[in-house]
Amino acid sequence: MHDQDGGIRTLYIKAAKLDRFGMGLLRLGLIVVLLWIGGLKFFAYEADGIVPLVANSPVLSFFYHHPAPEYKHYMNKEGEMNAAHREWHTSNGTYTFSRELGILIVFIGLLIALHPFRPQIAAVGSLLLIFMACTTLSFLVTTPEAWVPALGDSVHGFPYLSGVGRLVIKDVIMLGAAVVTLADSARAYLYRSSLKK
């Protein structure tokens, strides 16, 4: 029994030493997701997909030229090509806004990637990501499509997240990761600054 306890303790000791590896993996995960999602914002299907979120947001809706819920008549399914719908989205500013958002998201990812060289800049990237995640999470309150609609089933509305809502709620993880990487980059910067004194 004592040997078994010792073996389990050894596993916990090894697991406890994974924190630096885990931090690197967490930061790498943020960078990959931000660069990938930011890059996708340059494609029409991705721009179309975020329209309900942006159009209903009191913080972002001014980027669009047509008020909500007009977009509901012009939504494209992923993989669908409807020229009339695309024209409406072009006049709405859908694609212009999405590209600008993509640039911002990629920029945040690149800032966080600078951690090994300039942790103080990476900390700024993490801070920007905190603001972005909070904005994204606000869509749960402002976007009707975040919840299962009342179409006859008894399961609808809060707390039943739709596909859109399930996508948005994952930003809770992004928010937590951004706080952790912010603290880690700030700590690294302060440590390096102390060595120069």
120 in a domain, yes or no? yes
Query: Over the stretch 183-196, which tens digit does the pLDDT of each residue have?
Result: 999 999 999 999 98
Q: Which of 27, 171, 31, 39 is nearest to 103 (CA)?
A: 39
Range of the domain at 148: 30-196
Res 3 pLDDT > 80 = no
| Confidence bin at 2 (pLDDT 50/70/90) | low
- What pLDDT band is residue 178 in, cutting at 50, 70 and 90? very high
Say if 15 falls within a structural domain. Answer: no
How much of the chain exceeds pLDDT 90, in percent? 94
pLDDT at 1 over 60: no
Tens digits of per-residue pLDDT, 64-93? 999 999 999 999 999 999 999 999 999 999
What's the number of domains the chain is made of? 1
User: Is residue 180 domain-resident?
Assistant: yes
What is the per-residue pLDDT across 125-145, written as a single tens digit (0 to 9) for each?
999 999 999 999 999 999 999
Query: Is residue 116 one of the residues assigned to a domain?
Result: yes
Q: What pLDDT is stored for residue 6 in this prediction?
A: 78
Q: Is residue 2 part of a domain?
A: no
Please indicate, yes or no, if residue 135 is contained in any of the structural domains. Answer: yes
Residue 14 lies in a domain: no
Question: Does residue 17 form part of some domain?
Answer: no
